Chain A
Amino acid sequence: MAERLSNREGIRGMINPTRYGILRVAYWLQRLSGLGLLAYLIGHIYETSTILNGKTAWANMLSLTETPGGHIVLVIVIGMCVFHTGNGIRVMISEGGKGVGKPGQPEYPYRASSLNSKQRLCIWVSIALAALAMMYGAGVLFGN
């Protein structure tokens, strides 16, 4: 009851990437790719640990990733990894107060300097690099 009255948006509001522009989309993608990479890391540790059960177990596990489905997962992991790195560097630099603009007299219609073109460009570059890396990865994995 108390929580309902507090009218907190909760996780549903937090993960909603619409309404607040490209920085909120980048925030959402960063979280999503972070969780995806965490899931991949856990799966990867589980996968490689099967080597302890002998060669056959390892070969069986490896054959799972040698399927089209396994390749698609790896292509997505490549994309998540590149985006998370690129956007993460942008966020780290910004969080030190760099690249967020300078304080000054706000002028109508009050466009926030922290949401500047450098920030937007870095986000688009991260997305583009992720797309390129995914295409390259798909070429290697699905090619001859």
Chain B
Amino acid sequence: MATVTVPEEKKIDESPAAPAEPKPTTITLRISRVNPSENAEAKFEEFKVPVQKWTTVLETILHVKEKLDHSVAVRYSCRQASCGSCGMKINGKPRLACYTKISELESNVVTVEPMNNFQIIRDLAVNFEQLFSTHKKMKPFIINEESEVQPGTKEFIQTPQDLEKFLQFSYCIKCGLCNSACPTMATDKSFVGPQGLAQAYRYTADNRDKGKEDRLKIVDQSHGIWRCHFAGSCSNVCPKGVDPAMAIQLLRGYLLGFRK
């Protein structure tokens, strides 16, 4: 049997020093605390939280809940930007807490508040009743009398080009960030909002749908589509690339006769 001699300098060191764990730094997490049932004013409570470079804002809030104060109210579920539950204002801008890393905020002080333009339930949890009811008003389903499956019926055929016309807008997770950033929502409580309008476009642009006239009637009202002034804030904050501002302008194209 041949013997291989490993040169001295190439010998593998069998007892290497373990790679040093990156040291966690500490940030100050400021959480807005308010309990409407106690009629108390909102106040900020500060917590020192250790973070790594991959720590998300939601993880810091959960650290506070686990180790420092269980009473902090926050809504969350999937932790991967799919459920749309953990929307909140982080350092002044609406974002998903599970999708925002502390490191990208480039600040040692992180302030979390409930989203604007939504009723506060408690602390960081807000009421989505208006968002969901507006969403339902937009008839978020395919309207087509032939859509009932009968013996002998076939599936609707769509080309990839047909699909591209609305696919982007079907990625909406109903997190409400767009409605929170919208300057019209800030002052007009009856405004449909970018989320609802984008969904109205999503179904209107779907070539299987026959409910265009119904939906255009719903959005063509005093607190409807004409209240949007294309400030683009909704698209700026959307975590899924839905681009509600584009959907609204395209939907307006139907009403103005530029689109068929």
- Which A residues form the contact surface with B (CB < 8 A)? 1, 5-11, 13-14, 19-21, 23-24, 26-27, 30, 91, 94-98, 100-101, 103-108, 110-115, 119
Contact = CB atoms under 8 A, between A and B. Distances in A.
Interface string B218-260: 0000000000011111011111111101110111110010110
A24 B252 contact: no
Given A96-B258, A100-B249, A114 B186 contact: no
B103 interface: no
Interface residues of B, number: 52
Interface in B137-158: none
Contact of B236 (A9, A103, A112): A112
A107 B241 contact: yes
A13 B183 contact: yes
B252 A103 contact: no
Contacts, number: 149
Contacts of A96: 249, 252-253, 256, 258
Given A9-B117, A112-B235, A115-B236, A97 B243 contact: no
A14 B117 CA distance: 11
Contacts of B243: 101, 103, 106, 112-114
21 contacts: A6-B189, A7-B115, A20-B93, A20-B231, A24-B232, A95-B256, A97-B251, A97-B253, A98-B253, A100-B245, A100-B250, A103-B167, A103-B169, A103-B205, A104-B167, A106-B242, A110-B241, A112-B236, A115-B235, A115-B236, A119-B232
Contacts of A98: 253, 258
Interface stretch (B3-11, B53-61, B118-126): B118-126
A113 B243 CA distance: 7
Given A6-B118, A112-B238, 4 more contacts: A7-B114, A94-B249, A110-B241, A112-B241
Contacts of A1: 39
Given A20-B181, A103-B246, A104-B164, A114 B240 contact: no
A9 B230 contact: no
Given A100-B246, A112-B241, A27 B236 contact: no
Contacts of B165: 103
B93 A95 contact: no
Contacts of B85: none
B236 A24 contact: yes
Interface of B: 36, 39, 92-93, 114-120, 126, 164-169, 171, 181, 183-187, 189, 205, 229-233, 235-243, 245-247, 249-253, 256, 258-259
A23 B233 contact: yes
B232 A115 contact: yes
Contact of B120 (A7, A10, A21, A105): A7
B183 A112 contact: no
Contacts of B167: 103-105
A33 B132 CA distance: 36
A97 B235 contact: no
B90 to A, nearest CB: 11
Contact of B241 (A11, A26, A94, A106): A106
B171 A106 contact: yes
> Which one of B36, B189, B232, B258 has the greatest number of beta carbons of chain A within 10 Å?
B232
Contacts of A10: 186-187
A7 B249 contact: no
A81 B103 CA distance: 43
B84 to A, nearest CB: 15
A21 B232 contact: yes
